[in-house]
Amino acid sequence: MKCESFTDIHGKRMPLNHLPAGRKGRVRALTADGSSRRRMLDLGLIWDTEVEALQKSPSGDPVAYLVRGAVIALRSEEASKIIIEAI
């Protein structure tokens, strides 16, 4: 996904883990279920919530995201279940 940062991704739908660091997106769907989905909802990740990818950890995973004023680290497995639209 490295090349994504060079092309404009505005308006594109993608799983959150594909969002390059420094970019923002809006939540469009959650594909997780069970307790994982509940946890996402508890973070306030509902439709249209703005999420910003802040930075990767030293080994690239997890990634820190800014969600409703809180910094939350998500592993790529979880982030891949959050579909966003890049803005």
Partner 1 sequence: MGLTVQSTGSWVLDNPLQIIKSSPDEKIIALAGNPNVGKSTVFNGLTGMRQHTGNWPGKTVSIAQGRLTHKGTRFILVDIPGTYSLMANSVEEEAARDFICFGNPDAVIVVADATCLERNLNLILQILEVTPRVAVCVNLMDEARRKKISISLERLSQQLGVPVAGTSARNGKGLDELMDRVLSVISGKVVTNPPVIRYHEAVESAVSILEGPLKHILNGRINPRWTALRLLEGDKKLLGALRDYLGFDPLGDRTVAESLEKARKNLLAAGITPELFRDVIVSGIVKKAEQISRSAVTFERADYNIRDRKIDRILMSRIYGIPIMIGLLGVILWITIAGANYPSSLLAEGLFWIEDRLTDLFLLLGAPNWLHGLLVEGMYRTLAWVVSVMLPPMAIFFPLFTLLEDLGYLPRVAFNLDNFFKKACAHGKQALTMCMGFGCNAAGIVGCRIIDSPRERLVAIITNNFVPCNGRFPTLIAIITMFFAGMFHGPFQTVVSALMLTGLIVLGVVMTLLISRILSKTILKGLPSSFTLELPPYRRPQIGRIIVRSVFDRTLFVLGRAVMVAAPAGLIIWLMANVHVSGMSLLSHCAGFLDPFARLFGMDGYIIMAFILGFPANETVIPILIMSYMAEGSMMEFESLAMLRELLAANGWTWLTAVCVMLFSIMHWPCSTTCLTIRKETGSWKWALVSFLVPTVTGFLTCFAVAGIVRILGLA
Site membership for partner 1, residue 5 (CB under 8 A): no
Site membership for partner 1, residue 60 (CB under 8 A): yes
State the amino acid at position 1 in one-letter form. Answer: M
For residues 35 and 54, give the distance between their C-alpha atoms in angstroms, rounded to a whole number: 25
Site membership for partner 1, residue 58 (CB under 8 A): yes
Which long-range contacts link 58-62 to residues 24+ away (Cβ below 8 Å)?
none
According to DSSP, residue 20 is labeled: P
Specify the residue, 1 or 46, whose C-beta has the smaller distance to partner 1. Answer: 46
Site membership for partner 1, residue 8 (CB under 8 A): no
Return residues touching partner 1 (CB under 8 A): 30, 32-33, 35-36, 38-44, 46-47, 49, 54-62, 64, 68-75, 77-78
